[in-house]
Amino acid sequence: MSLEFLAGEGGISLLDANPGLFIWTLITFTVVMLVLRAFAWKPITWALDQRSLRIQSDLSAADSIRKEAEESLAAYRAKLAGLREEGLQIVAEARQEAEKLRARMISEAEADAAEIRRRGKRDLELARDAALADFHRQVTDLSVTVAGRIIGRELKAGDHVRLIDESLEKLRAVP
């Protein structure tokens, strides 16, 4: 049943003040409050206090974890920067070593080229000297043969040496 229906039939009116009902409601409320205070209030406040303590400990643990994470992050960043610097230093050292190696290889190649040129020049001089000596020998043989035919006799060993020396002197004089 609705309250309007009851109020319309002369039943209960919400705006009517009934002193007896008011007193009994007040007594009942006071008794319930005393019973609650005696038996339920302490466990409820204890549970609320425990919950508050747990929340505070969780907040402090979260704060310490956050601080540890920030310290770890700072250490990681510092280590990363150190590793980056170390990597750059390794690259720079490798470049220096490569430059030294390149310079050493160039100087060795230049030294080898100079040695090859020197040997080539020496071999050329030796070949020229050998060719000149062969040429002198052939000229001498030819001169001796021609001289022997002209004179019509064989030359003696002393004549032969003298004739060779004269021929060599004449050849040296020719540019």
The whole-number pLDDT of residue 63 equals 94
The whole-number pLDDT of residue 69 equals 94
Tokens for 138?
Answer: 């052939």
The whole-number pLDDT of residue 168 equals 75
Whole-angstrom distance, CA of residue 135 vs CA of residue 172: 12
Whole-angstrom distance, CA of residue 126 vs CA of residue 124: 5
Confidence of residue 1 (pLDDT cuts 50, 70, 90): very low
What is the residue-wise DSSP string for 47-94?
HHHHHHHHHHHHHHHHHHHHHHHHHHHHHHHHHHHHHHHHHHHHHHHH
Is the full-model pTM beyond 0.85? no
Q: What is the pLDDT of residues 134-151, one digit of tens each?
A: 887 787 777 777 666 666
Q: What is the pLDDT of residues 42-85, one digit of tens each?
A: 888 899 999 999 999 999 999 999 999 999 999 999 999 999 99
Q: What is the pLDDT of residues 82-111, one digit of tens each?
A: 999 999 999 999 999 999 999 999 999 999
